[in-house]
Chains A and B, each alone.
Chain A
């Protein structure tokens, strides 16, 4: 589903965030990206979602060369990818369900169908009672679950999560990892950047370790 071949990403200013990365992730796999902060985990995820473009090498997602994708094709790639951010990136000018509806509106869903889907996914992350609440009033863990609901509502084949449990205490973190395991079991491909070792131990799956921009070992 995802393959990196000799991928290097150098930022303006010369910092090399990723150096000659080579790996492949199969459809339906659960992969953890680990490594110290600044090791290149976020950059790797951004390259998959075409938020950044590689300096050299080829990033391919579902057979598409992401680095060569035209500006107009990028949105359609992203509609097949669910993104979960450490800082959630929720919109505070609208309530919970409207945040979840956003990807469906963008994709042009019928309103009734969209509401049905949004409710289902909000229920799945346990926020159904808060659907009219403003995200500001949610706890950190709830905000993260809302972010996950938004990432999943359009039923993407691929979910990318950047430190999804980074700011959460252990109880919330375990909840969220359990949720991810459920999605993995229904066939979603997951790539999760984390340094939560307990989560990795609990969920299993493959680990890609990054060190100063280099893929160290595939365990």
Chain B
């Protein structure tokens, strides 16, 4: 166990030495990785912001029921009774006078409502169903529409459905891009390690002759790969931080124009750790593939 730890420490130190021996190459590789990771990373962050924006809007779909102007009191009572059933989470009655008052309060529409001689608005219920499933919502809306005294029902979830569908595509794209750039990362790491193996060919041959196991030879290369991946992750963080600084002012200006206090937020600590862990893992994987292959070649061309 102690010997194992000693080997790890030794390999880790050797990896640090190798990386710092070629600072420019190390930096360039980290930058290539950083740019590659910043694309899906940036998309992920952008999507997070959109979702946060979407979350501020009423997530719960609503059904509006507009009553017939000629609906009788008995009909209205039956509708109210129907809305107390279990599939309805809550219902709010909006008398037509309240609706008109709300329209008056909305400043842009005051001019229009001022010219009206009588209230054209119907009495209405705003209903929040228990379910959020699209199918159920459609069924409930249709069911409510058949009640006598109901002129029309309107399912208020279309725009939300569309937004969520768009966000779903965005989320899928993030995973797709992440997959593609993960492959790119493995390739970048593998290529960098391959060059290192070639440079260290003599060392590998001599080490083998004096009793080094493949594992011993591979170990420092794996650490180099993982560290390189970690540096790539940090570089991606740098790229995104710069992008964030550049974008912050325009985004806040746009949000200000909509009267919103929306602003860009940095990723959470867990997200940062996860990304760095993933890039280190991918760097390690690229190194493993490359060095295993190269060791095999060194052996056969002895």
Whether B202 and A83, one on each chain, are in contact in the complex, defined by CB atoms closer than 8 angstroms, is no
Residues facing A in B237-272 (CB within 8 A) are none
Whether A108 and B210, one on each chain, are in contact in the complex, defined by CB atoms closer than 8 angstroms, is no
Q: Which of B4, B7, B10, B210 contacts A150 (CB 8 A)?
A: B210
List the B residue with the shortest CB-CB distance to A78: B211
Using known A-B contacts A93-B203, A105-B10, A108-B3, determine if residue A83 contacts B210 with beta carbons closer than 8 Å.
yes
Contact with A along B184-223 (1 / 0, CB 8 A): 0000000000000000001101111111110010000000
Count how many chain B residues have C-beta atoms less than 8 Å from C-beta atoms of the other chain.
18
Shortest A143–chain B CB gap in Å is 14
A20 within 8 A of B: no
Using known A-B contacts A106-B216, A108-B7, determine if residue A91 contacts B210 with beta carbons closer than 8 Å.
no
Which residues on the B side are within 8 Å of A89 (C-beta)? Answer: 202, 205-206, 209
Whether A106 and B212, one on each chain, are in contact in the complex, defined by CB atoms closer than 8 angstroms, is yes
Using known A-B contacts A103-B210, A103-B211, A150-B210, determine if residue A91 contacts B202 with beta carbons closer than 8 Å.
yes
Which residues on the A side are within 8 Å of B22 (C-beta)? Answer: none
Shortest B227–chain A CB gap in Å is 19
Shortest A92–chain B CB gap in Å is 8
Shortest B145–chain A CB gap in Å is 76
Whether B210 and A106, one on each chain, are in contact in the complex, defined by CB atoms closer than 8 angstroms, is yes
Q: Once the chains are docked, how many angstroms separate the CA of A108 from the CA of B3?
A: 6
Q: Once the chains are docked, how many angstroms separate the CA of A91 from the CA of B203?
A: 7
List the A residue with the shortest CB-CB distance to B299: A71
Residues facing B in A39-92 (CB within 8 A) are 49, 51, 72, 75-79, 83, 89-91
List the A residue with the shortest CB-CB distance to B21: A93
List the A residue with the shortest CB-CB distance to B216: A106
Which residues on the B side are within 8 Å of A103 (C-beta)? Answer: 210-211
Q: Once the chains are docked, how many angstroms separate the CA of A154 from the CA of B7?
A: 17
List the A residue with the shortest CB-CB distance to B4: A108
Q: Once the chains are docked, how many angstroms separate the CA of A89 from the CA of B7?
A: 23
List the B residue with the shortest CB-CB distance to A85: B209
A208 within 8 A of B: no
Q: Once the chains are docked, how many angstroms separate the CA of A150 from the CA of B4?
A: 23
Which A-B residue pairs are the 3 nearest by beta carbons? Answer: A79-B211, A78-B211, A108-B3
Can you report 30 residue pairs joining A to B where beta carbons are below 8 Å apart? Answer: A49-B209, A51-B209, A75-B208, A75-B216, A76-B211, A77-B211, A78-B209, A78-B210, A83-B209, A83-B210, A89-B205, A89-B206, A89-B209, A90-B206, A91-B202, A91-B203, A91-B206, A93-B203, A102-B206, A102-B207, A103-B211, A105-B10, A106-B207, A106-B211, A106-B216, A107-B211, A108-B4, A108-B7, A110-B6, A154-B211
Name B residues whose Cβ lies closer than 8 Å to a Cβ of A: 3-4, 6-7, 10, 202-203, 205-213, 216, 302
